[in-house]
């Protein structure tokens, strides 16, 4: 198999684009989180301005996007693949609805390394740090 400079250039371009895109998506979702999201008292409410059908489609879309992010994060977590794999999977898991999700989120965000990474990103954009129940 002959590898040309064009193949190398395409590979490099795909690597850079996927790394930048994953970082942008992770940043977008981390910044949109309310600071009190990880408190036990937090309870999301459906948008009353939308109909039940519109709320259902919004929830369905959120689950689809979350599933795509989980799969993309798992791929990016493979050594040699560029991107923020663990953070991308974390954001995807936060979007997807499944039993035990809240407990898993809380266990993950209580880890100092995860919480510090999320809060340092939020601080860079002048967002308040995430509050976490002890």
pLDDT tens, 99-114? Answer: 888 888 888 888 999 8
Kindly state the average pLDDT of the residues 24-34: 86
Kindly state the average pLDDT of the residues 90-98: 84
Residue 47 clears pLDDT 80, i.e. is over it: no
pLDDT at 58: 87
Residue 28 clears pLDDT 80, i.e. is over it: yes
Question: Residue 13: which residues within 8 A CB-CB, separation 6 or more?
Answer: none
Q: Are 11 and 103 in contact (CB under 8 A)?
A: no
Total number of residues shown for the chain: 134
**Percent over 90 (pLDDT), the chain:** 23
Residue 19 CA to residue 8 CA, distance in Å, equals 17
pLDDT tens, position by position, 55-81: 889 889 999 999 998 898 888 888 877
Ranking 5-9, 11-15, 32-36 by mean pLDDT, the lowest is 11-15
């Amino acid at each position: 198999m002959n590898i040309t400079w064009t193949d190398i250039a395409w590979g490099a371009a795909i690597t850079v684009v996927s790394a930048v895109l994953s970082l942008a998506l992770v940043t977008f979702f981390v910044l949109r989180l309310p600071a009190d999201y990880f408190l036990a008292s937090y309870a999301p409410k459906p948008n009353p301005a939308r109909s039940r059908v519109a709320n259902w489609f919004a929830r369905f879309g959120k689950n689809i996007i979350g599933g795509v992010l989980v799969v993309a994060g798992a791929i990016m977590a493979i050594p040699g693949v560029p991107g923020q794999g663990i953070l991308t999977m974390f954001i995807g898991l936060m979007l997807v609805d499944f039993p035990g999700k809240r407990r898993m989120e809380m266990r993950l965000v209580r880890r100092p390394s995860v919480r510090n990474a999320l809060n340092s990103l939020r601080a860079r954009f002048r967002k308040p740090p995430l509050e976490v129940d002890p």
